[in-house]
Amino acid sequence: MELQPLLHDLLVAVCAPTQAWSDADGQIGLADGRGAQGVYHGDVRVLSGARLTVGGAAPEAVASGADGPGRARTVLLARSVDGPGPDPTARLERLREVAPGRVTESLTLSCSTADPVAARLEVALRPDGTPMDRIKSGAAAGAAPVAEPAADGARWRADADVAAVLTAPGAEVAVDADGTVRLAWEVTAASGAPVDVAWTLAVTDAGGPVTAPRRAEPEWSPLEVEAADRRLPALLDQALADLGTLRLSARFAPDDVFLAAGAPWFFTLFGRDSIWAARMLLPLGTELAAGTLRTLATLQGTKLEPATAEQPGKILHEVRRAELSMPGEGMVLPPVYYGTVDATPLWVCLLHDAWRWGMPADEVEALLPAMERALAWMADHGDSDGDGFLEYVDELGTGLANQGWKDSGDSVQWRAGGLATGPIALAEVQGYAHEAAVAGAALLDAFGRPGGDRWRAWAAALAERFRAAFWTADERGAYPGIALDADKRVVDTVTSNIGHLLGTGILSAEEEATVAARLVDPDMDSGYGLRTMSTGSAGYWPLRYHGGAVWPHDTAIVVQGLARAGHAREAAALAEGLLAAAQDFDQRLPELYGGDARGTVPRAVPYPAACRPQAWSAAAAVSVLGAALGLDPDVPGGRLDVAPPVPSPLGAVSVRGLRLGGRPLAVRVGADGSTDVDAEADVEVRVRG
């Protein structure tokens, strides 16, 4: 039986497009060839084993963890060469450092014995060339590539495009008949005189769709954060470190930078994920947003192509090296796949928000033709049956059955159980479309282009249709359902999707208050963040991917919407839950985690196959910070409105290192809402009260 490998207890070091996954003791590889452990470059695993022995025995780990961006360190006891007595006297530190196209592992043997310690350090490395989709499906690794001896090491080809070169200065090198490369060093350490050896794996890729950015440094500045809640600075530090390791460029747009969706499975360009992450990071500057917008615009749809779900004006879903096939699921995605219903309106929203944060006018104007095509897609191909709503259906049956952010096959369920039948019109997508139409109209007006009135009228009509079609009720009162099914019936499950409607303009103030109250009821608020599905639904399960688990980015989007809509207490409750969960994950918020109620489990329960780091999970920390600061910029209009919610979701907080209009911005918010702002941009700062 093939099972997706688990990740929750693995040690990871990444620097896109390269990543290394090991057990907590630093060892890479399982005996049966299964599992996610290994060194990857893009969508190919190039090394599936790296097992260390000291004096013929595996050392025993006593501590391990992240050691900075792209680094993981393990502290091991070398008891096979230990001295007498109960105290450990010989230890080994295993430091793994990942850079784009390179993994270096340094081994340091030290001791406190009276006499020097002599030991034979050996590392057995297994070359690999298994595609990512095969590993994710739980299949065993294929036959190992043939390794050839080379100067100080060995070399092999993982596939037609990806080549690996292993070097280990000073090591004995042997290549076994089964392809295993064995490194060995005879070393002697003395008290106060540790000994170091190392091996390096360098990878080149002639054909992958993504590559490391030309500029090594992130587009944002470090943040200086002082907060009454000490959990916040620690979370932000880890988030920004992780985000820096997820930066990528596309070969078809090499001058621009975007964020990979997440490690290990989604280490590439994803329309929705990359857009949301860039949008959440706008308080740090507009450069990442601009790069993301341009990269996606380069492959904006131009034709009708059912095999790829491409349509004129549509923004893509994902880009891969080759066809993505998931054995047992019947899903086969082409290398460039457009099966997403929300990336196109979200692209428009990102362009508008980046413009308001100060993206240079000439860069914005250059993207307006792409924006006009995206708006046209919403009214034409996005509304396939002409009912005025955006909907989707997998026409060929081999793509994604669901094409919103909850894209698992069972994510759109009836409250009493059972799956809704498509075409599906998701609630939150109508909110995104409304916001995109209004935002697009504002950009058209500002740059003297026609069409603004048309899109404002379109948005107003959409809001009325939504009000008439999406609302339903239960014993607690009215709420929007998650979707309309093929028969235009309201799919009545209470889900986090409705929180994404807040701040989009599609709801009235009274309707926003109704939604806000539902979201913080105990059936939705786990105490660690917002559940994706109410515990009152038949399909709820705390470890169901989109049916009860908590996704940090989902919670952060809702926190931002609650704050914008004036529901500060509800925003504060959900934000505090994220901070609590982050502590349980060493401040690295994963892709998702269990929806168990806080207080019923000893800690937040990992979703065992969750990616980490994940771009929008890391960016969620900045989004929640932005919600607490209450910033509403309009650089083109020459103003910055500051209206922090009271009570503050994060207590008193002071931040330096933000950017507005390309210039430094510092903000201090007291727990009572008192505010100081230092903005170097040419704007009028207007503070509430």
Which CATH number is 42's domain given? Answer: 2.70.98.40
User: Are 635 and 605 members of one domain?
Assistant: yes
In a domain, 688, yes or no: no
Q: Which stretches of the chain drop beneath a pLDDT of 70? A: 1, 31-33, 327-329, 689
Quick check: is 265 in a domain? Answer: yes
pLDDT digits (tens, 9 = 90+) for 457-482: 999 999 999 999 999 999 999 999 99
The domain total for the chain is 2
Instruction: Let me know if residue 130 belongs to a domain.
Output: yes
pTM for this predicted structure: 0.96
| Predicted pLDDT of residue 377 | 98
Looking at residue 688, its pLDDT comes to 83
Beta partners for residue 150, in sequence order: 153
- Are 230 and 103 within one domain? no
Residues 120 and 268 in one domain: no
Domain boundary among 158, 176, 208: 208
For tokens 């048309």, the residue is: 454
- CB count within 10 Å of CB 418 equals 12
Statement to judge: residues 176 and 312 lie in one domain: no
User: Based on the domain organization, do 497 and 593 belong to the same domain?
Assistant: yes
User: For position 294, what pLDDT does the model report?
Assistant: 98
Nearest alpha carbon to residue 535 among 526, 527, 246, 383: 526
CA distances from 105 to 52, 81, 167 (A): 11, 21, 11
Give yes or no: residues 374 and 486 share one domain. yes
CATH number, domain of 312, equals 1.50.10.10
Residues 500 and 582 occupy one common structural domain:
yes
- Residue 196 forms part of a structural domain: yes
Same domain, 92 and 118: yes
| Domain encompassing residue 111 | 11-208
Domain presence at residue 548: yes
**Do residue 244 and residue 106 come from a single domain?**
no
Same domain, 612 and 658: yes
Q: Are 234 and 114 found together in one domain? A: no
Residue 217 in domain: no
DSSP 425-482: EEHHHHHHHHHHHHHHHHHHHHTT-S-HHHHHHHHHHHHHHHHHHSEEEETTEEEE-S
3-state secondary structure of 504: coil
Tens digits of per-residue pLDDT, 406-424?
Answer: 999 999 999 999 999 999 9
The predicted structure's pLDDT at residue 178: 87
Residues 201 and 61 in one domain: yes
Cα separation, 624 vs 555, in Å, equals 9
Amino acid in the structure at residue 89: T
Residues written for the chain = 689
**Is residue 597 included in any domain, yes or no?**
yes
In the chain, % of residues over pLDDT 70: 99
The answer to whether position 687 is within a domain reads: no
Residue at a domain's end among 183, 208, 233 = 208
Q: Report which secondary-structure segment, H or E, holds 357.
A: helix 343-357
Last residue of a domain, one of 208, 238, 271: 208
Task: Give CA separation, 674 vs 397, 646, 647, 671, in Å.
Answer: 55, 9, 11, 7
